[in-house]
Structure 1
Amino acid sequence: MAAIAAGEKKARVLLIDKGNKLGRKLAISGGGRCNVTNRMPIDELIQHIPGNGRFLYSAFSEFNNEDIIRFFEHLGIKLKEEDHGRMFPVSDKAQTVVDVLLNQLKKYRVHIRTTEKVKSVMYENGRAKGIITANDEVIKAGAVVVAVGGKSVPHTGSTGDGYVWAEAAGHRITELFPTEVPITSNEPFIKQKTLQGLSLRDAGVSVLNKKGKPVVTHVMDMIFTHFGLSGPAILRCSQFVVKELKKQDQVKLKIDIFPAIHKEELLQKMTSDLKAAPKKAIKNVLKPWMQERYLLFLFERNKIQPEDTYSTLSKEKFRGFIQDCKELIVRADGTLSLEKAFVTGGGVSVKEIDPKKMASKKQEGLYFCGEILDIHGYTGGYNITSALVTGRLAGLNSAEYALSK
Structure 2
Amino acid sequence: MRKNVIVIGGGSSGLMAACTAAEKGASVTLLEKNPNLGKKLILTGGGRCNVTNNRPEEEIIAHIPGNGRFLHSAFNQFSQYDIMHYFTSRGIALKEEDHGRMFPVTDKARTILEAFIDELKRRNVQVQTKATVERINYENGKIVGVTLDDGTVIPADSVVLATGGKTYSRTGSTGDGYRFAKYVGHTITELYPTESPITSSEPFITERVLKGLSLRDVALSVRNKKGKTVVSHQMDMIFTHFGVSGPAALRCSMFVHQTKKRDKVDEVTMALDVFPNSSIGQVEQDLQRLIRETPDKNVKNGWKDLMPERYLLFGLEQAGIDPDQTLKSLQPKDIKEFAQFAKAFTFTANGTLPLDKAFVTGGGVSTKEVNPKTMESKRQPGLYFCGELLDYNGYTGGYNITGAFVTGHTAGMHAAVD
TM-score by length of 1: 0.97
The equivalent of 2:6 in structure 1 is none
2:291–2:328 CA contact under 8 A, matched in 1: no
Amino acid at match of 1:185: S
Instruction: Give the Å deviation of 1:126.
Output: 2.2
User: What runs of 5+ residues in structure 1 fail to find an aligned partner?
Assistant: none
The equivalent of 1:158 in structure 2 is 173
The equivalent of 1:86 in structure 2 is 101
The equivalent of 2:45 in structure 1 is 30
Amino acid at match of 1:23: G
Instruction: Give the Å deviation of 1:170.
Output: 1.7
1:179–1:343 CA contact under 8 A, matched in 2: yes
1:12–1:110 CA contact under 8 A, matched in 2: yes
Instruction: Give the Å deviation of 1:10.
Output: 2.5
Amino acid at match of 1:317: D
Deviation digits for residues 295-346 of structure 1 (CA, Å, limit 9, x no counterpart): 1111122222222212222332232111110000010011111111111111
1:264 lines up with 2:281 in the alignment: yes
The structure 1 residue matched to 2:149, chosen from 124, 134, 142, is 134
2:51–2:103 CA contact under 8 A, matched in 1: yes
1:180–1:379 CA contact under 8 A, matched in 2: yes
1:129–1:144 CA contact under 8 A, matched in 2: no
Deviation digits for residues 138-171 of structure 1 (CA, Å, limit 9, x no counterpart): 1111111100001111111111011010111221
1:339 lines up with 2:366 in the alignment: no
1:177 lines up with 2:192 in the alignment: yes
Deviation digits for residues 189-215 of structure 1 (CA, Å, limit 9, x no counterpart): 001101111111111111100110101
1:19–1:115 CA contact under 8 A, matched in 2: yes
1:58 lines up with 2:70 in the alignment: no
1:143 lines up with 2:158 in the alignment: yes
The structure 1 residue matched to 2:182, chosen from 152, 155, 167, is 167
1:126–1:362 CA contact under 8 A, matched in 2: no
Instruction: Report SS of the residue matched to 1:358.
Output: coil
1:298 lines up with 2:311 in the alignment: no
1:248 lines up with 2:248 in the alignment: no
2:371–2:378 CA contact under 8 A, matched in 1: yes
Instruction: Give the Å deviation of 1:277.
Output: 0.7
1:127–1:366 CA contact under 8 A, matched in 2: no
The equivalent of 2:116 in structure 1 is 101
Amino acid at match of 2:200: S
Instruction: Report SS of the residue matched to 1:23.
Output: coil
The structure 2 residue matched to 1:122, chosen from 128, 137, 144, is 137
The equivalent of 2:226 in structure 1 is 211
Higher alpha-carbon deviation: 32-41 or 355-364: 355-364
**Structure 1 runs (4+) greater than 6 angstroms displaced:** none
The structure 1 residue matched to 2:375, chosen from 355, 358, 361, is 358
Q: 2:410 & 2:258 partners in 1: Cα distance?
A: 31
Instruction: Give the Å deviation of 1:109.
Output: 1.0
Instruction: Report SS of the residue matched to 2:304.
Output: helix
Paired residues, what number? 401
The equivalent of 1:320 in structure 2 is 337
The structure 2 residue matched to 1:239, chosen from 231, 250, 254, is 254
The equivalent of 1:194 in structure 2 is 209
Instruction: Report SS of the residue matched to 2:361.
Output: strand
User: What runs of 5+ residues in structure 2 fail to find an aligned partner?
Assistant: 1-15
Instruction: Report SS of the residue matched to 2:365.
Output: coil
Amino acid at match of 1:355: P
Instruction: Report SS of the residue matched to 1:259.
Output: coil
TM-score by length of 2: 0.94
Instruction: Give the Å deviation of 1:243.
Output: 1.2
2:365–2:390 CA contact under 8 A, matched in 1: yes
Q: 2:253 & 2:31 partners in 1: Cα distance?
A: 33
Q: What percent of counterpart residues are identical?
A: 54
2:200–2:242 CA contact under 8 A, matched in 1: yes
